[in-house]
Amino acid sequence: MTALAIDVHDLRKSFGQRLVIDGLTLQVPEGEICGFLGGNGSGKTTTIRMLCGLLRPDGGGGTCLGMDLLNDAPRIRLQIGYMTQRFSFYGDLTVAENLEFMARLYQIRDRRRAIAEVLERIGLADRADQLAQELSGGWKQRMALAACVLHRPRLLLLDEPTAGVDAKARREFWDMIHEMAADGMTVLVSTHYMDEAERCQRVVYLSGGRLVVQGTSDDVVRAAHLVTFEAAGDGIEQAVRRLRHLPGVETAAVFGRTLRIAGMDRAALRAAIDSLGEDTLHWQEVEPRLDDVFIHMLRDTEA
């Protein structure tokens, strides 16, 4: 069995009266890319901050890279890279200067080579002398990633790294993450994008500060026991509005030219479809997708 990069149990954290993390237990094996999912305010950022020692858990504990979360925070920091949700480098420094600063903080021996390498790998080489504040969103994220992996951390914590970044930049960003994981780096990445979740070897779904489900995306889909029907044809716009209010239909949404409904009860869904009484739509049962499952879970936890 491979060693665990993250092994924490019963983590608890509250801000004032508000319990944000409520007994979270999480294990991530080394070298894996773990997608961290959950609605807004589900505790993703708080968990990541506790893992890198920025917040002290109120209860629970565990290890990060084999080091104690509560007592070894300074040592853990040397071996993790943390990319904050908000761009948090110095806009008034150039890309190279920001990297140089980080390299010095981590006391990297051959600074110049390390910086040149990371600039090359992340494709920032020709922007090295640009002020960070002048970079566009996608390039800022790249720079932040470069700064986080400069010291070759064993664990990379990414907090919604691709929020507000275009599709091409997102894909390239993920290609880089995969490359790094191939080199043995463990990656914990929070995201709201399903296509990104599907690129993770493991997804962890968080809700209300608790871990709701974890596993490969197939595992998660299977474990949900969700039933999905899809229809194509004329009148899907009218149908979706009626379907939404019928019993057993948890979600009904139009995707381009198809209409998808999902629920737990197959019979109830069929009854709902029959009650429409329209023959312009062609229905068929399909495999649920990850986003169907997550919307279903979000509904569950909100209820």
**Is-contact 164 192, C-beta < 8 A?**
no
- d(CA 135, CA 114) in angstroms, rounded, equals 22
- d(CA 219, CA 286) in angstroms, rounded, equals 17
Question: Would you count residue 52 as binding another protein (CB under 8 A)?
Answer: yes
Q: Name the residue nearer to another protein (CB basis): 53 or 263.
A: 53
Q: Name the residue nearer to another protein (CB basis): 54 or 271.
A: 54
- d(CA 251, CA 263) in angstroms, rounded, equals 7
Neighbours of 113 (CB within 10 A): 10
Span 105-134, contacts to another protein by CB under 8 A = 105-107, 131
Backbone angles phi, psi at 12, to 5 degrees: -140, 135
Q: How far is the CB of 55 from another protein (least distance, A)?
A: 6
Q: Which stretch binds another protein (CB under 8 A): 82-90, 166-174, 186-194, 218-226?
A: 82-90
Q: Name the residue nearer to another protein (CB basis): 93 or 271.
A: 93
**Is-contact 177 12, C-beta < 8 A?**
no
Question: Would you count residue 89 as binding another protein (CB under 8 A)?
Answer: yes
Q: In this chain, which of 22, 23, 30, 78 binds another protein, going by CB under 8 A?
A: 78
Q: Name the residue nearer to another protein (CB basis): 88 or 280.
A: 88
Question: Would you count residue 150 as binding another protein (CB under 8 A)?
Answer: no
Q: Name the residue nearer to another protein (CB basis): 105 or 223.
A: 105
Q: How far is the CB of 288 from another protein (least distance, A)?
A: 37
Question: Would you count residue 86 as binding another protein (CB under 8 A)?
Answer: yes
Helix boundaries (H) for 123-265? 137-149, 167-182, 194-197, 217-224, 236-243
Residue 196 CB contacts under 8 Å (≥ 6 apart), including other chains: 35, 162, 170, 174, 189
> Which residues of the chain form contacts with another protein (CB under 8 A)?
49, 52-56, 73-75, 77-78, 80, 82, 84, 86-93, 97, 100-102, 104-107, 131
